[in-house]
Amino acid sequence: MMDAADMQDPLYAAEVWLAEGRGVALATVIETWGSAPRPVGSHLAIDSDGNFMGSVSGGCVEGAVISEAGEVIATGEPRILEFGVADETTWRVGLSCGGRIRVALERLG
């Protein structure tokens, strides 16, 4: 029986979406440095329609992860994404908190 906690769990959402025949990617925070908004092990599930549940950071970072998820679902090629405040990312997607995170993104199913 599904309870309220299940309805907020990105892993449960991914399982349901797979059972419905949707393409699904899972993003997982695998490493953090300094101040990071979400701890290692945090998940974001994304389906092939762009629906998502969970969180790996917030704001622009999650938008970038969701965007990359479409390609990961289509190709099956996993990716490691890194976000932080650095010279090459300052004007793109970064973390305003000054930390850095590394996120693994993989297709499920």
Partner residues linked to 86 by β-bridges = none
Average pLDDT, the chain: 85
Residues 100 and 32: beta-carbon distance below 8 Å: yes
Q: What is the spatial distance between Cα 42 and Cα 52, in angstroms, rounded to a whole number?
A: 14
What pLDDT, on the 0 to 100 scale, is given for residue 73?
Answer: 98
Q: Could you tell me which of 97, 103, 107 has the C-alpha nearest to residue 81? A: 103
Other C-beta atoms closer than 10 Å to the C-beta of 96 total 12
Q: Give the residue carrying structure tokens 């004007």.
A: 91
Mean pLDDT of 75-82: 96
First vs last Cα of the chain: how many Å apart?
23
pLDDT digits (tens, 9 = 90+) for 5-47: 556 899 999 999 999 999 999 999 999 987 778 899 999 999 9
pLDDT at 89: 45
Count of domains in the chain?
1
- Measured CA to CA, the distance from residue 109 to residue 100 in angstroms comes to 29
pLDDT of residue 34: 79
- pTM tops 0.75, yes or no: yes
Host domain of residue 73: 4-108
